[in-house]
Amino acid sequence: MPNTLPKRPREKQTTISQPAQIYELKITLRGSKPPIWRRIAVVKNIRLSNLHQVIQVVMGWGNYHLHQFVIRNRRAKLTREELSSSSWQERYEKLIKCRDRCWSDSRMELEGAEDEKKMKLCDMAPAVKSNFIYEYDFGDGWEHEIKVVKIGPPVQGVKYPVCIAGKLACPPEDCGGIWGYYDMLEILKNPKHKQHKEFVEWIGGKFDPECFNLDEVNDTLRRLR
């Protein structure tokens, strides 16, 4: 007799995608003493264009100025003898190899900078202790040292990016860089200083350099997601 039993439908094979690993980054504002820092957790494949937005939020900047990510070239710079003994083409090629590598917003058309939307964090900083620089506002020159401190699986129930910890307030925009910031704090502490009233009006009242509100930062990150 012919087999009249209906064929059993094949079970669909489902592949469970593994969640991306998480990078914990320590961000420290260079030149700040005591250090102004933040610790954040982001997915490893976050693009630098999105990491830029996260850094702006957690540090407290207003995203008013140009920025770039930089990997310093550890290669020794060329000596005068090397430069003088080479042809123009050889000198050019050697100088290119010594150049720092930079990424930024392609719309800003920064000379020598690559498109930050095309670079992922895990490709630029592949391992624990990898580090790079985030520079914001080329006039004031705010340089942030960023170091990978931990790589691991995501924590169940946590949505990324998230700020884990931090200390001290972000300096105000356009205050003259790190040294201008500390000069400003000294003036604000001294009511007798001839520029005290001017700085109080400029800052819009009181400024607390100790203030850092982790909950407010993470509320803003939630809106950013």
Structure tokens at 15: 């592949």
Do β-strands 67-71 and 101-104 pair in parallel, antiparallel, or remain unpaired? antiparallel
Per the DSSP assignment, residues forming a β-bridge with 38 are: 27, 166
Radius of gyration of the chain from its Cα atoms, rounded to whole angstroms = 24
Q: What is the pLDDT of residues 118-139, one digit of tens each?
A: 999 999 999 999 999 999 999 9
Mean pLDDT over all residues of the chain? 87
Comparing CA positions, the residue from 26, 29, 40 lying closest to residue 169 is: 29
Between 24-33, 80-89, 188-197, the lowest mean confidence (pLDDT) is in 80-89
Domains annotated on the chain, with CATH: 22-169+210-224 (3.10.290.30), 171-208 (no CATH)
165: phi then psi, degrees, rounded to nearest 5 = -165, 170
Do β-strands 37-43 and 22-29 pair in parallel, antiparallel, or remain unpaired? antiparallel
In the block, tokens 């954040």 appear at 40
**Direct distance between the N- and C-terminal alpha carbons of the chain, in angstroms, rounded to an integer:** 63
Does the pLDDT of residue 92 top 50, yes or no? Answer: no
Does the pLDDT of residue 82 top 80, yes or no? Answer: no
Q: 177-189 and 196-203 helices cross at what angle (nearest 10)? A: 110
Distance of CA 151 to the CA centre of its chain: 17
- Give the C-alpha separation, 132 to 72, whole Å: 7
